[in-house]
C-alpha cells in the first residue's frame, strides 16, 4: 500500500507527457512538417575549432568554416623611423582584417573585447575589416638620443586574457556569426604577443551565437524551446 501514491504520481506524470507529445504532433501535422523538421531550425549548429597559436609578428589567418578561404586575419605589423635630432621611434599595431564580407564588433573606435556569453548577432555594432583593417592595439616606443625611453600601449586589447572577438562573415552570400578567443600581451619596447585559443561559427544563417559557445554549450545544456525534450521537462515540473 505504501508504494501506491508514488506509482499514481508517476502515472499522472507520464499521462501528462503523453498529452503534450500528442499536442505537439498535432501542431506539427497542421503545418505539414514532421516532428524533426519542426524542431531543427531552433537548434544551434556550432562548429568549433580549438587552436593554440602564439605569434609576435606577421599574420595568422582564420578559416571559420574550413572551406579553404581565409575569413579573417590577425596581424601584427611594425614600422619605425629614426632622426638624428630626436632619437628612435617604433610603432607596432595589432589589427584584424578579413575578406569582403568580414566584420567585427567594435567599441569606441577599436575592435570590441567580449566576455564569455556575450551575444553576437543582429543589433550589435559591426564594422567591415576588409580594407582597412580594424585596430585592436597600438604600442609605441620612443628612445631619445640621450638614452631616455618612453613606451605606451592603447586600445581595447591591452593585456587581456580569454576574451572574444565578435565576428560576422558570409557563406554563399548569407550572413553567419562567430567568435575567436584570444590572449593578448603588450610589453616593453612595443612587444605584442597574441595567442589564438580557438574559434567557432554558427552554421545557421542569421542566427546569433554566444561568445565561447560551442555545440555542447550553445543552450546551457538545456533543450531548445519547442522541442520534445523541452515538453517533457515542462511536464515533469
Lowest mean pLDDT among 38-47, 57-66, 112-121, 152-161: 38-47
Q: Is the pLDDT of residue 223 over 60?
A: no
Which cell goes with 217?
A: 554549450
Rounded Cα–Cα distance for residues 18 and 14 (Å): 6
Query: How does pLDDT run across 76-91, given as a tens digit for each residue?
Result: 997 766 665 667 778 8
Q: Is the pLDDT of residue 1 over 70?
A: no
pTM above 0.75, yes or no: no
Q: Is the pLDDT of residue 25 over 90?
A: no
How many separate helices (H) and strands (E) can be counted in the chain?
3, 14
Amino acid at each position: 500500500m505504501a508504494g501506491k501514491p508514488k506509482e499514481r504520481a508517476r502515472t499522472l506524470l507520464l499521462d501528462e507527457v503523453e498529452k503534450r507529445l500528442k499536442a505537439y504532433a498535432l501542431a506539427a501535422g497542421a503545418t505539414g512538417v514532421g516532428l524533426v523538421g519542426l524542431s531543427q531550425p531552433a537548434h544551434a549548429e556550432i562548429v568549433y575549432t580549438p587552436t593554440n597559436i602564439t605569434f609576435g609578428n606577421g599574420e595568422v589567418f582564420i578559416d571559420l568554416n574550413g572551406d579553404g578561404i581565409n575569413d579573417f586575419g590577425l596581424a601584427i605589423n611594425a614600422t619605425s623611423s629614426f632622426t638624428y635630432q630626436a632619437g628612435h621611434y617604433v610603432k607596432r599595431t595589432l589589427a584584424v582584417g578579413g575578406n569582403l564580407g568580414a566584420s567585427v564588433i567594435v567599441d569606441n573606435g577599436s575592435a570590441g573585447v567580449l566576455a564569455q556569453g556575450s551575444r553576437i548577432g543582429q543589433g550589435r555594432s559591426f564594422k567591415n575589416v576588409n580594407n582597412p583593417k580594424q585596430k585592436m592595439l597600438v604600442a609605441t616606443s620612443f628612445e631619445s638620443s640621450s638614452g631616455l625611453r618612453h613606451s605606451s600601449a592603447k586600445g581595447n586589447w591591452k593585456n587581456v586574457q580569454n576574451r572574444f572577438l565578435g565576428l560576422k562573415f558570409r557563406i554563399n552570400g548569407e550572413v553567419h556569426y562567430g567568435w575567436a578567443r584570444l590572449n593578448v600581451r603588450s610589453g616593453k619596447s612595443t612587444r605584442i604577443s597574441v595567442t589564438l585559443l580557438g574559434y567557432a561559427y554558427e552554421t545557421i544563417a542569421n542566427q546569433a551565437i554566444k561568445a565561447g559557445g560551442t555545440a555542447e554549450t550553445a543552450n546551457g545544456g538545456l533543450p531548445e524551446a519547442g522541442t520534445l525534450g523541452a515538453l517533457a521537462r515542462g511536464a515533469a515540473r
